[in-house]
């Protein structure tokens, strides 16, 4: 290899390997990667696979921090490999492992099926009683910018599993719904167009549900998209307690607007003046 320079240096990768078809237990393998400024963990993994060990397995797709596929444990912290630059994490050694609290399919590939099963369980979609309007819509449901703001940050979840990997409750209770599903339950319960609070209430307050959260806050700390699932879980708890005490205000879901009403609700904006004279 070329001599290290401030722009290019050798970094040692310790990668946790495990192939259930051949290995009895996980083991660490060492690789040396020549790294330059701007290289991400994902870039380093590709270099290892192309030049040192083609059997190395991990999951990736978009390479842009959008799909969440490449989440893994990077120096002990759950993060996305595609938007974590190597030289911003270390100057010498880096360790990679699959996300904790998941079964391992192979090497850095976790089995995310429990995440998606629990996500589906909480009915992550708009639920309403007016099924005719849902199946044969006559207009859009009105929602103000203020109503959108109440749940907007929770729509940024990309289902990467980082929050579940960091959750201490999940480490001791694999049946716990987890921060991903519970944050999405709050997201839809808070949506002014949704009427599914009563149905989701029974889904989240069972023994492995929302009240199992210890409020460690690690789920929010590691989220690569800035979502705060710990806050969502506490807000769900508050809503459930208020509902139990019959103090919760239940609002009817937003109604569908007819075409004339939609025109009235549209913001009135004017085009900016020309900046160059013709």
Top pLDDT among 1 and 109 is at 109
Measured in whole angstroms, the distance separating CA 21 from the mean position of its chain's CA atoms is 30
pLDDT of residue 277: 67
pLDDT one-digit tens code per residue, 182-233: 999 999 999 999 999 999 999 999 999 999 999 999 999 999 999 999 999 9
Class of domain 113-261: mainly alpha
Q: Is residue 36 over pLDDT 80?
A: yes
**Mean per-residue pLDDT over the chain, rounded:** 92
pLDDT one-digit tens code per residue, 113-156: 999 999 999 999 999 998 898 889 888 899 999 999 999 999 99
pLDDT one-digit tens code per residue, 243-263: 999 999 988 999 888 766 665
Beta carbons of 152 and 203 less than 8 angstroms apart:
no
∠ CA 149-234-192, nearest 5°, is 35
pLDDT one-digit tens code per residue, 38-55: 999 999 999 999 999 999
Domain edges within the chain: 8-110, 113-261
Sequence-distant (6+) residues with CB within 8 A of 264 are none
Mean pLDDT within 1-24: 83
Mean pLDDT within 166-190: 97
pLDDT of residue 265: 63
What is the number of other CB atoms lying within 10 angstroms of the CB of residue 101?
23
Beta carbons of 68 and 160 less than 8 angstroms apart:
yes
Pick the closest to residue 230 from 247, 248, 218, 244 (CA basis).
218
pLDDT of residue 1: 44
Q: Is residue 102 over pLDDT 90?
A: yes
Class of domain 8-110: alpha beta
């Amino acid at each position: 290899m070329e001599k290290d320079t401030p722009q290019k240096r050798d970094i040692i990768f310790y990668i946790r390997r495990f192939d259930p078809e051949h290995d009895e237990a996980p083991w660490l393998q060492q690789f040396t990667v020549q790294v330059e400024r701007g290289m991400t963990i994902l870039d380093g993994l590709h270099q290892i696979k192309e030049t040192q060990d083609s059997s190395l397995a991990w999951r990736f797709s978009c390479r842009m921090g959008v799909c969440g596929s490449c989440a893994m444990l990077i120096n002990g912290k759950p993060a996305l490999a595609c938007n974590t630059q190597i030289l911003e994490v270390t100057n010498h050694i880096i360790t990679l492992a699959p996300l904790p609290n998941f079964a391992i399919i192979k090497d850095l590939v976790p089995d995310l099926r429990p995440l998606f099963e629990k996500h589906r369980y909480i009915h992550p979609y708009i639920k309403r009683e007016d099924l005719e309007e849902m199946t044969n819509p006559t207009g859009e449901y009105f929602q103000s910018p203020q109503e959108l703001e109440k749940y907007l940050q929770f729509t940024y979840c990309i289902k990467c599993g980082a929050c579940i990997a960091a959750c201490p409750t999940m480490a001791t209770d694999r049946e716990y719904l987890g921060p991903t599903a519970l944050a999405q339950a709050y997201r839809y319960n808070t949506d002014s167009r949704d009427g599914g609070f009563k149905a989701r209430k029974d889904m989240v307050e069972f023994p492995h549900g929302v009240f199992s959260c210890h409020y460690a806050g690690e789920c929010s700390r590691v989220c690569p998209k800035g979502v705060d699932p710990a806050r969502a879980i506490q807000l769900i708890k508050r809503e459930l307690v208020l509902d139990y005490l019959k103090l919760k205000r239940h609002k009817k879901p937003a109604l569908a607007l007819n075409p004339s009403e939609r025109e009235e609700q549209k913001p009135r904006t004017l085009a900016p003046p020309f900046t160059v004279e013709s």
